[in-house]
């Protein structure tokens, strides 16, 4: 179990370093991330490398038994680099330059940036690959943060090469993008520019490919650095820190390239429900690399400084959310940063050693968490019963970046905030403590009893085949509105909608039936469920379509799709109760092979999502990890260890029996106060 944080000794005099390592030992720190933003310190000019200070601090950490997650420092080129090679600076869609003076001002496609970065990484890797302090390599930092899309000339050249590789010839590209529309036919690849500022909607196929290209391009940088590190003889694992559900990067592809997934997570402490969003992110990180524990690489000990208002964490909240990460598969808890900066943009950002000193709650909590983590036994190896992920999940949610990119484009029947919707589907399950893995359609789905496909507008041919195979093999599938509309090129297939899944669903959509978007949810009930303001479905500008379902009346939002039933095997489970679509089917099921495929034609509100997921879980024979009456209590499984956490203000008693994971003592029932947690081996 790693414990520690980003350490920036270059901001401090050496005498402070001695204090740092002493305090690190006191706090139980086992690993620090070193050198993330130290490029200008390591390489003060193009021809000079200064490693003396880095040697010294790495040795000092090593002498004190503290491991190093050594960064390659390539996230922020020094000012001299931009002066000498102005082409390394990226541009936005208006052609404006992002100048140095902050951080991360580099064009990922710039050959000069790549050359300089490769040289730096080679120097670092050659020097430290066998240093016994180095336990992990930290490539760059938060790829894509602040700047994921570069529209510069370097990017344009690189994009064209990428397109040439993808399509081979320009006619194939023209067909894929549908450039016959609006006189966009290209004569050659040279005519193509990134989707820069244009008078109106830019070609959606082109925009989708630019998103793919941008994720791939940053990934090329990661792979370049990783390969340099490995070629130098390093045997330590290599990671780069992800940022949860970060739209620009297809983390499934990235997860294949990193040895360990690591994640940075800064939840809003003022939001009492942020623990659900945090759980969502933890489960996504765990799912990205099955069978491999991940690291919480960055979180805040207390306040952050990047929001307009930066509230402190409540006492105990940091520990509760840290244990949530451990319970959901993390093998390390780290912070940004070790010592609070005295100067610079993030000087108000909390740290393990606060500027306010050691007589602070933050420092006490940091020490206490260090102690707690060091007392945890190793997690038991995963058994086959736990599934590949050890979470025991028998429910999977499909999460695909290409769909997120495509569904977020304009000119659709209705604007759907895809991530928010997926998070709501996840929350519906999380509120019931039903374990969930995230998958993509290429994942092995055989371990799951229930797969939910949330609004998968873009469904590839292979994806459709995989979902059909899952159902025919005995799985239960829920297909939600606005799924299976376009192929990988963002084009309609021949024959209407749901062409990919039609054979198992037995239905297809005739009209999407957009509803007036639901009102912004401002209130929540005592259990944390959002409460929507009910507006009659018959009002002009229909907001909702009520659905009469076997599990109660459900309020459908965003769309009331009109679906056509295609064969007699389709069972209509629910119909619209009112409005334009009154009496029409709203939820169907159809047996296909050994399984069942459901189609849902409207987006339920939160209560409806809870009801339908409960109904489906029951039908699929899926049970909660642990049944708890209070929705403030979350329970996660990791192997045979349950982590129970109370995020609510009232004490809760839980009827759990087993052995305390830390002490080994018998447990029969636990009482948890606010932010109380317990790990119990069952
Ligand atoms: C991350 C970054 C850190 C620090 C932190 C707090 O984005 O990796 O260097 O800036 O956030 O804002």
Residue 142 CA, closest ligand 1 atom number: 8
3-state helix, strand, coil in the chain (%, to 5): 30, 20, 45
Calculate how far, in angstroms, residue 419's C-alpha sits from the geometric centre of ligand 1: 22
Contact 437, 533 (CB under 8 A): no
Among 141, 170, 119, smallest CA distance to 34 is for 141
Q: What single DSSP character describes residue 526?
A: T
Q: How many CB atoms lie within 10 A of CB 538?
A: 10
* Residue 15: Cβ within 10 Å count: 8
From the candidates 91, 225, 298, 631, give the one annotated as an active-site residue.
Answer: 298
- Measured in Å, residue 136 CA sits from the centre of ligand 1 at 19
- Cis peptide before 337, with omega less than 30 degrees from 0? yes
Per the structure block, which two tokens stand in for 380?
């038991």
Residues 6+ apart with CB under 8 A from 203: 177, 178, 179, 181, 182, 184, 195
Q: What are phi and psi of 144, to 5 degrees?
A: 90, -10
Distance, in Å, from the CA atom of 99 to the CA atom of 105, rounded to the nearest integer, reads 6
Classify residue 171 by burial, with Cβ atoms within 10 Å: 0-12, 13-18, 19+: exposed
pLDDT at 519: 67
Pocket test residue of 142, 242, 340, 347 for ligand 1, highest count of atoms within 8 A of CB: 142
Q: Where in the chain is the domain with CATH 2.60.40.1180?
A: 633-681
Q: Which residues in 650-682 are b (16+ Cβ under 10 Å) and which e?
A: eebebebebbebeeeeebeebebebbbbbbbbe
Q: Which residues of the chain have pLDDT under 50?
A: 384, 388-389, 522-530
- What pLDDT, in 10s, does the model give residues 373-415? 999 999 876 654 555 447 889 999 999 999 999 999 999 999 9
What is the radius of gyration, based on Cα positions, of the chain?
A: 26
The CA 675 to ligand 1 mean position distance, Å, reads 25
What pLDDT score was predicted for residue 542? 81
Q: How far is the CA of 348 from the centre of ligand 1 (A)?
A: 12
Beta bridge partners of 576: 547
Both tokens assigned to 27: 């706090």
- pTM, two decimals, is 0.96
Answer yes or no: are the C-beta atoms of 82 and 100 closer than 8 Å: yes
What does each C-alpha distance from 603 to 232, 413, 481, 483 come to in angstroms?
52, 14, 7, 12
Res 525: pLDDT: 46
Q: Looking at domain 393-620, which CATH architecture does it have?
A: 3-Layer(aba) Sandwich (3.40)
pLDDT digits 0-9 by tens, 540-549 = 678 889 999 9
Per-residue pLDDT reduced to its tens digit, 106-124: 999 999 999 999 999 999 9
User: May I ask the CATH class of domain 633-681?
Assistant: mainly beta
Q: Residue 533 has what DSSP assignment?
A: P
**Ligand 1 site, CB within 6 A:** 141-142, 145, 264, 298, 306, 336, 346, 349
pLDDT given for residue 521 in this prediction: 52
The separation between CA 239 and the C-alpha centre of its own chain, rounded to angstroms, equals: 15
* pLDDT tens-digit series, residues 201-220: 999 999 999 999 999 999 99
pLDDT at res. 385? 52
Q: Which of 46, 91, 93, 142 is catalytic?
A: 142
Distance CA 564, CA 567 (A): 9
Q: Residue 413 contacts by C-beta under 8 Å, 6 or more apart in sequence?
A: 482, 512, 514, 559
One-character DSSP codes across 46-112: TTB---HHHHHHHHHHHHTT-EEEEE--TTS--HHHHHH-GGGS-B-TTS-B--SSSS----TT-HH
pLDDT of 516: 87
Encode pLDDT of 486-537 as tens digits: 999 999 999 999 999 999 999 999 999 999 887 655 444 444 444 555 555 5
Q: Please say if 561 is a catalytic residue.
A: no
Q: Is 511 marked active-site? A: no
Nearest CA to ligand 1 atom 3: 336
Q: How many helices and strands in the chain, by DSSP H and E?
A: 17, 28
Residues of the chain with CATH 3.40.50.880: 393-620
% of the chain exceeding 70 in pLDDT: 95
Distance from C-alpha of 95 to C-alpha of 141, rounded to nearest angstrom: 25
pLDDT given for residue 533 in this prediction: 52
Please report the pLDDT score of residue 518 as a whole number: 75
């Amino acid at each position: 179990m790693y414990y520690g944080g980003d350490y920036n000794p270059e901001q401090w005099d050496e005498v402070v370093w001695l204090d740092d390592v002493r305090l690190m030992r006191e706090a139980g720190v086992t690993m620090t991330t070193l050198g993330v933003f130290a490029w200008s310190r390591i390489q003060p000019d193009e021809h000079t490398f200064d490693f003396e200070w880095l040697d010294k601090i790495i040795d000092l950490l090593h002498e004190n038994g503290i491991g190093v997650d050594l960064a390659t420092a390539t996230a922020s080129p020094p000012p001299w680099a931009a002066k000498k090679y102005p082409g390394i600076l990226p541009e936005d869609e208006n052609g404006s330059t992002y100048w140095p003076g902050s951080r991360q001002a580099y064009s990922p496609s710039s050959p000069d940036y790549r050359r300089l970065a490769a040289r730096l990484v080679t120097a670092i890797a050659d020097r430290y690959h066998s240093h016994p302090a180095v336990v992990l390599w930290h490539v760059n930092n938060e790829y894509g943060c602040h700047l994921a899309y570069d529209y510069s000339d370097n990017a344009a050249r690189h994009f064209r090469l990428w397109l040439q590789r993808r399509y081979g010839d320009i006619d194939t590209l023209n067909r894929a993008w549908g450039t016959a529309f609006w006189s966009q036919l290209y004569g050659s690849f040279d005519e193509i520019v990134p989707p820069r500022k244009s008078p109106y909607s830019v070609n959606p196929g082109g925009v989708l490919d630019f998103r793919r290209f941008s994720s791939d391009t940053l990934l090329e940088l990661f792979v370049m650095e990783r390969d340099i590190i490995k070629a130098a003889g390093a045997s330590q694992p290599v990671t780069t820190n992800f940022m949860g559900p970060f739209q620009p990067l297809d983390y499934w592809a990235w997860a294949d390239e990193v040895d360990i997934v690591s994640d940075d997570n800064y939840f809003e402490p003022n939001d009492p429900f942020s623990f659900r969003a945090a759980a969502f992110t933890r489960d996504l990180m765990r799912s990205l690399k099955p069978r491999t524990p991940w690291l919480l690489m960055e979180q805040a000990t207390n306040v952050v400084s990047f929001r307009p208002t930066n509230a402190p964490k409540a006492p105990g909240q940091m520990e509760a959310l840290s244990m949530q990460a451990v319970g959901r598969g993390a093998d390390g808890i780290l912070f940004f940063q070790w010592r609070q900066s005295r100067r610079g943009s993030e000087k108000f950002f909390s740290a393990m050693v606060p500027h306010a000193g050691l007589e602070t709650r933050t420092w006490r909590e940091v020490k206490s968490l260090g102690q707690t983590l060091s007392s945890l036994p190793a997690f038991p190896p995963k058994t086959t019963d736990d599934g590949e992920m050890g979470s025991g999940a028998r429910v999977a949610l499909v999460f695909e970046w290409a769909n997120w990119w495509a569904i977020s484009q304009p000119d659709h029947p209705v604007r759907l905030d895809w991530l928010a919707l997926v998070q709501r589907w996840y929350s519906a399950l999380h509120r019931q403590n039903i374990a969930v893995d995230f998958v993509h359609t290429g994942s092995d789905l055989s371990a799951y009893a229930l797969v939910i496909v949330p609004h998968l507008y873009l469904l590839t041919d292979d994806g459709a085949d995989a979902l059909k195979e899952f159902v025919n093999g005995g799985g239960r599938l829920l297909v939600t509105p606005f799924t299976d509309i376009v192929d990988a090129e963002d084009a309609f297939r021949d024959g209407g909608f749901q062409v990919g899944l039609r054979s198992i669903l037995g239905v297809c959509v005739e009209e999407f039936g957009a509803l007036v978007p639901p009102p912004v949810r401002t209130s929540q009930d005592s259990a944390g469920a959002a409460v929507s303001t009910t507006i009659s479905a018959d009002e002009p500008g229909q907001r909702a379509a009520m659905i009469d379902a076997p599990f109660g009346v459900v309020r459908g939002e965003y769309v009331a799709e009109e679906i056509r039933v295609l064969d007699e095997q389709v069972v209509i489970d629910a119909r619209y109760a009112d409005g334009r679509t009154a009496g029409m089917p709203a939820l169907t099921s159809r047996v296909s092979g050994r399984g069942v495929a459901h189609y849902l034609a409207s987006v339920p509100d939160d209560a409806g999502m809870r009801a339908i997921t409960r109904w489906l879980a029951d039908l699929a024979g899926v049970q909660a990890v642990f049944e708890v009456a209070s929705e403030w209590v979350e329970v996660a499984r990791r192997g045979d260890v349950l982590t129970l956490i109370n995020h609510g203000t009232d004490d809760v008693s839980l009827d759990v029996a087993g052995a305390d994971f830390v002490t080994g003592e018998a447990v029969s029932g636990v009482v948890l106060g606010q932010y109380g947690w317990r790990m119990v081996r069952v």
